[in-house]
Structure 1
């Protein structure tokens, strides 16, 4: 039996939290892109699968979202807008294009949501970075995704940032020769090769 694709079943092939977050949609090359973050709890499923928040925090966020449905709906819409802006930024980088000024300005503004909740705590080995976790903070998963985006921009070479030629998902190419073209060779690789074969055959007829 075919299992419907959802936030619970999709494979995360981005190679980092921020790309997996941006990839919470179906193929970006389809006329109508499937949205996997339909309800706020879908975002919490994503956070659970990424193991970025304790179960107790996830439970409390879910409870708060249910009790404040209108607020949760508004914040989810804002989170999706931020996700789409992140896609525009990293997609431009993946294709070696200039980042639109408005996209960059929006990303810089959104970064404040992430860094506003980062703090240091004293440990035996020195200061450690930690998150200020508030169990009513519905932006919390987004804050972590934005911090991941910052880390990718400051620690990874732009040439390692790729957009799958099969579905448009973003991924980090960590292959030795930096020649990876697809987020998943078995899925998108096969589809893309079949599409190319069809186009070549069509041109010959």
Structure 2
């Protein structure tokens, strides 16, 4: 690996409906070529539950009136809603020589970096992707890989109504509590959190590239 991969282009899309955004990610991934720059879509969604490919519908514990969308990422059920920072990573993994497990680790480490900057001690769990604070889940991630390229991404709870999480077994774990930045006194607006996440992802991807080049 010699040439620096194209930069991660940031696209702040604001609050957008989930399903059209998902279909737009699929279309982008189908249409991209070897020259297509990688993108980060910075979004917020109206209330929605999403159920992954292997997800079990029984993890939705009760009817809430919130729509459930069955999608093509890995993982079980999760919730997206206002006040949650969502970052979708449309990345050509083959071009960047990143394995899927490495991508998951890069995302988790970027989230940890942001939380560390806020003075929040967080941790990872073996076999349970995402980021946890004191046993409660503050960030989730799920990905789809098609033709060597990723879409979907991460969500970080910022300042939101957490009650819909009680209507599901989050990510398939009964009784898993949820946390958010507001619990720890963080009141930054969503666009600031999005920027911090994008900066952290940029730094992690640059470090990965430098390490690969040094090992070559």
Larger radius of gyration: 1
Question: Which structure carries more helix by proportion?
Answer: 1
Q: Higher strand share goes to which structure?
A: 2
TM-score by length of 2: 0.26
TM-score (norm 1): 0.27
